[in-house]
Structures are given as C-alpha cells and as structure tokens.
Chains A and B, each alone.
Chain A
Amino acid sequence: MELSKISVLSLVELVVACLLVIALMVANAIVMVYAERKGAGFIQRRPGPYEVGPWGILQPVADSMKLLAKQLFVPANVDFLLYFLAPVLAFLPVLLLFLPIPFGPYLTALKVPDGVVLILAFAGFGLLANLLAGYSSNNKYGILGAGRAVAQGVAYEIPMILALLAVVFQTGSMNLSDIAEAQGSAPWRWNFLCQPLAFFIYLVTLVAETNRAPFDLPEGESELTAGFHTEYSGMGFALFFLSEYANMLLVSFVCATFFLGGYKGPILDGFWWTFIKAYAVMAFIVWIRWTFPRVRFDQLLNINWKWLLPLSILNLWITAVIIKLV
C-alpha cells in the first residue's frame, strides 16, 4: 500500500482494526490467565482457581482489579523516563505486529506485501523494552535479567528468521495471506510437514522469544527473583504481563499462518481455523512451561549457536536446492 493511495476509508479501517487488535490482546490476556492457571492446575493435579465466580472464571477480573488498585512503587534512584517508558514500549509495538496477520481470507488489518518483514522488524522492540526496564530500575537482578534478555533475544531471533525465510523461499512471497493460501486446505500439505525442521526450529525459538519456561531466563525466578521486571508493581507489571501474553499470541498466529495452514482447514475456511490453530500452539507453550526445568544460560546460548543456527542455515540451503531442482 503506497502512501498516496491511503484514502479516508482505509484510514478508518485501520483505526477500527487497531481497536479490534487491542481488544483481542486484552481478551486474550484475560482468557489466557484463566486458561494457564487452570492448565497448570490440571498438570499439577490441583483444581486451579475456583473461588472467584463459578469455576473461578472471574479470577482474571479479580487479578486485574488487584493490579489496577495496587500502589505504583517507584524505587529510589531510577531513571524516571525509561522506567515508565519501558512497560509502554513493551506493550505498544505488539499492536503493530498483529496488523499484517491474516486472521481470515478477508480479515486482515493491513494487507502489506511484506508482512513478514514488518513482524520481524517490530518484534525487536519487546527486547528493547526489557533492556530498558532492567537498566532503568536500579536493581542488580534487573540488569542481570536485562542482559540475559538481550543476549537471548538477539541470539534466538536469527534462527527464527531463517526458519521463516525457508517458508518464504518455498512460497515465493512475503505476504502472509499468500503463505497461508499456498498451503492449501489439506493438512498433509501444510508446512509443518513440508518444512519439519523449520517448524521444529520455530517452535523452540518461539518459546525463547516470548521468554517462557524453559527459556524464561530473563525473569528466571529462582535466580533473579523476577529479572528485568523485579521493581515493577501494579500496572507496570500488568503491562509486561499483557505484552507477554500478546507476544505469545502473536508467535502462535505466525506459527499457524506459516506452518499450520493459517485460515485454511479441511472444511469451511475461515478465521476460526486460525484461532483454533493459534490456541493449540498456545496450549503447547503452556504445557511445556509446567513440565520442564529451566535451562542454564550458557546452555541456552549453546543450543542456539551450536544447534539451531547451523540447522536453520542447513534447512534454508536444502530448501533453496530443492526449489532450484524442482
């Protein structure tokens, strides 16, 4: 979409889309808070939340009320501007990332030809927010967590990009709708079977990119108490929390679009398929969080630089060779 072609109508469309995306992010956080706690309860053989409302479904409301009402504690000698900027910076860019996602055949906020580039470019902002949060809050755990966040984020972005690039090679387009469309309706033609290695690499990196266990080192609780957001309370913490769930949703949508056929399904194409697939990936993320111990930091980087990166380059090379031959 070129600038000159933006009409008033498309601008209104964009604003509406942005509002819908914000609504989706918040609704997702509310659903996921409940789903994750119930899921954890199921895995750990306990009921999970059940006090607030029937089956505890009002627990997220109670949680958010608590976070809203909490005192915003600001520790001594923080870098004020950065300290308050960091949670906002963590939350806002995620909004942009949802714009090029094709939720359905006609349900895309912003149809850009280079959606992949937009997503990968703005995904780095979350990292910056983590760095600023840890750096500005005048806390040694914070700075250690921030350092880990940067090292981890930068490292895992590369195999992630390479894994997605293999799919882009295969499809010949950077438009996410095209990528979803190219996979067709039959599940055996989806990319998780055509590109198994890329799918595996992407699954590992998406956990690392969203700082979830077993790769939750920036906030590694047993070592760094809460890592980069140690000093955040109330809404500051809530924004980090919201952005974590939004990031999870985003990588799940990208996963659904790139590897699981997007909005295509065996019957009746539509946005429901995207959502089903994305939430299946979310369930996977929740599942492994409550099952695995945390890796050590040097092991984390070794997995990336010694295994994932060479594998993703090999995968890219094989893809290129096959495309050349076929």
Chain B
Amino acid sequence: MIEKREALAKMFSAKGSKINTNRGAEYYDSLMQTMNKRLAELEQTPAAGKVSITNVLEAEGLDRRDFMKWASAACAALMLPSNFTPLIAKAAELMNRVPVIWIELQDCAGNSEAILRSDAPTIDELILETISLEFNETLMAAAGHAAEEHLEEAMHTFKGKYLCVVEGAIPLAMDGLYGTIGAKAETFKDHLLRVAKDSAAVVAVGTCATFGGVPAASPNPTGAVGVQDIVKGKPIINIPACPANPANITGTILHYVLTGQIPELDHLNRPKFAFGYRIHDNCERRAHFDAGEFVEEWGDKGAQNNFCLYKMGCKGPMTFNNCSIVRYNSGTNWPIGAGHGCIGCSEPQFWDKYAQERPMADTHFKAPTGGVEKTVDEFGLGLLTAAGIGIGIHAIASVIAGKKEGDE
C-alpha cells in the first residue's frame, strides 16, 4: 500500500506543465532586442487615443513607484527575467498606440464588472480602462453621425492593427436571432465577423467568449459557441475563467504591445504564462493533499483546518489557471481560500464536466482518457476520468496511510 501511495504521490506532485521558464541568455537577449525595436517603432506611431496611462495614474494619485512595482509583478507573470521590467513599464505607457475594439455579446457582464468598474482600481484595471477609453473615444467622438459610421470609421482607420476583444458567447440557433444588436438588429454572429475581419487578432475574454460557457451548457438552447468556432483565419487568444482575471487580460495585451505578436499559447489557445499550471500545482492546500488530509463533509474538522477539498469536488487538479497565485479582489481571497473547491471555470465545457460538488471519481461523465501526468498541451479536451479515479485512489490510499502513521 505504501509503495502504491508513493507512486501516486509522485505522479501527482509532478509539475503539471513543461513550460520552460529559463531559456538561456541568448534567447532573452534576442527577445529584448526584438522588443526594443518594436517599442521604438510604436513610439513613432501616433497614439490611437489621447489618454495616456501616465496621466491616468497621476490623476488617480498613484506614483511612479506604485507603477514600477506593478511592472515588476507583470514581468514575473509573463515569465520574463526581471531585467525586462523597464520594457514592461514602457509598453504600458505605449498601450494607447494599440487600438482596441471591445464588443459584448451573449454574456452576464461579469467580465466587465470584474474589469472595468467594480472591484479594485488597480493598475491592471486602470490600464484596461485607458484602453477602452480609446475605443469609446474613437467611436463616440464625432457627434451627430450614426453610430454605425463610427465603428466603420474606426475599423477602416486602424485596419489590420486593432485588437478585437470579445465578451460573451455567440448564439447560432434560429439564424442567430437569440441575440441582436444595434438599430438594424444585426445578429451577434454578423457583428462579431464584421468587427473581427480587419483586426490584427481576436482576444476572447471569459469562458463564454472562449468556449461558449454558460449559454453553451447542455442542452445549449441557443446553439451558443465561442469565438474560435466562428472566426477563422485570425490569430485568436483565449482568456477563459468566470470571470477572467484582469491580470491575465492585461498581460496578454502587454505582450502584444511588447512584441507585436500574440503570446505563446497552449492547444486551447490560452496564453501559457497564465494557463501553464494547474490550480493544484500552486494550491495553498496542496500540502494537505500530499499528506492525505481531506475535508470529508462541509464544515467538518477538516474544513476547520483548511484541509484539501478534493473530496468535496475540487477540480484544481484538472484546471489550468493561475488563481492560486494571483487570487481575486486585490488578492483578498479566492474560492479555495473560502473553503469551496475549484469548479474548473477556465476549462471547455466545465459546466457539464466540472462544476459540481462531487469528486470526478464519483461522476459518470464520459470523457477522453489519457495519461495522468500531462503537460498543458497534452492534457487534453477536458477531463481525464482516469485522473479523477487516480486521485480518488490516492485520496483513499493516503488517508489510510495517514491514519497508520498517526496511529504509530
């Protein structure tokens, strides 16, 4: 039994991903040159909007030191060495050179709520606000014209240069009429295709825009799909989660500003810097998992001692995201901190696979099987029932072993 336990422990304590965080001096030197060149070019281009982050920060009463602290954290989040920090700061200042057109489709506004106004006006959010301001300004400045013309104009002026950010799913059933927009009642699908057509890249924000999310949950009454099912022939970046963490959205746009390219993505088009690890890999309760200490029932002794939530349905071992590091609401808390398991909200079809309060081993989903120790690329479409059962076995095995040790 002990041998089996060790084998399983080894299996599950292995890093979930094979992201290379140190690629050697040559790589970083060359990357820095590319970035310097890119930023120098950007600096020569006219700003898409009048508002600069420097002024915004000043008006909000934040000083340069706060800004540099943020830049340093953003640098780490993008998995770059710390000598890139000044470049990050410069890129943030040049963000108004990259026009962004932000559209909202079949959604609950949770991402907007998370990002644009409600919670903490951290520097991440201010930067996003600055970006969306440009968009508003671009579209709304010329009063007296029909709004359609404003959009056309912006798309024409910044043809091939703007990022198209999308929130919400796209309903395809009933010829797309479950969602219409504008005085001409254009369907969400047509609207998306029109705006995405001349963009440099499309950024899908939140799980509805990336994988269909809530509206696409079974039986998917409106035939909802994600952006990548509709838009073809464009680079697509998916930033899932419900809601998406503002830090990951800023990170992605920063990367684009820095390099003129989209960040390195996994097979689900998610940036690896944010979705390269499983929740489980960096979970604050991980030690309890390894020690075989589990919450068995809500509010029990285990819960009072912050034990592992796997048996209460935590999907941290199947979910790739950085919540365990970044947390929410200015780092105040996160779901596992508040005693509830992860529901896998950054994974495709999580409403039908993960969002329940029982462990995977107890569910009856049919899902593609695969090896347990998988990288983010190989981990695959959703869940591994095998992994669920495997962890279940470990949970039982380690509890027995733990008890034994305790008895001695």
Is B truly associated with A?
no
- Which residues does B use to contact A, with CB under 8 Å? none
- Which residues does A use to contact B, with CB under 8 Å? none
